[in-house]
Amino acid sequence: MTVPTVGFIGLGAMGSRLAGRLLAAGYEVYGTNRTKAKAAQLLELGLIWRDSPREVAEAAEIVFSMVTDDDALVSVTSDDDGILAGLSHGKLYVDMSTVSPQTSRELAVRVHAVGAEMLEAPVSGSVPAAEAGALSIMVGGSAQSFTRAEPILRALGSSVTRIGGNGSALLMKLAVNISLAEQMLAFSEGVLLAEQGGIERSLAVSVLVDSAVGSPMLKSRGPLLLDLPEDAWFDVALMRKDLRLALRAAGSFDLPLPSAAVANEVYTAAGAMGYEHRDIAVVYEVLAEMAGQ
């Protein structure tokens, strides 16, 4: 079986780890990023640099992208130097960004118009999970395209699931992330309550993560309340974006999401307090500041 050449556009905190795993798995990887300096380590590992998303799409059979939001996705896909300009008949484009389901569906129509196919493949998991190949990957698009991309995706994630057609995986990802936001908020409230009652924070964290509420996410992220990293695993700005997308999607169904709405208020406050680019575990500090601690 011939191993396809792969392209990767967007080599930030997550994208760089995913491209690195593809290189380690033996794929020939072409890549580009807005800032070339961020690709320095990948270039040493064998990444083949191209100067634009179009050039990456022209060079690779299967093209991946991971960018921050809808605007960034439009930027890397459109215009003369965008991904769409480099796609052609028979190529497959896999976007791993978390964007609006509607934006992704509209982009899929444009991809099909040039003879290529498109999957969306948003991920659930942190930077350490990306490094370890332990992400959960949700996929939207045709079954045929999924079969073609699945071996590559399994080099990146421990769980790879096709949800349905274009747009479905992004809706599923938003469903995951509202729970992530709410769990982090509820956990922080519990720790703060215990601490205010005289229980050491480290003990409160330990008991909570080992209790019935100790989900895998809280087991990995709970200790960050004791030692918040400078480099975020998943920052407040990204969570605010995902909460807005989820609330917008819910509005289209006339569906109330009261807990997500409250979480959105708290993460918005976190951004206003200067924590925009800190890990979402900073919500504990936000609550403490609100309490005057």
The residues carrying an active-site annotation are 173
Burial pattern 14-50, b for ≥16 Cβ within 10 A else e, equals: bbbbbbbbbbebebbbbbbbeeeeebeebeeeebbeb
CB atoms within 10 A of CB 97: 26
Burial pattern 67-84, b for ≥16 Cβ within 10 A else e, equals: bbbbebbbebbeeeebbb
Calpha distance 278→178 (Å, rounded): 18
Calpha distance 13→231 (Å, rounded): 9
DSSP string covering 65-80: E--SSHHHHHHHHSST
What SS3 class is residue 152?
helix
Residue 97 makes CB contacts below 8 A (sequence gap 6+) with 10, 65, 66, 67, 68, 69, 72, 73, 122
CB atoms within 10 A of CB 216: 10
Calpha distance 191→96 (Å, rounded): 34
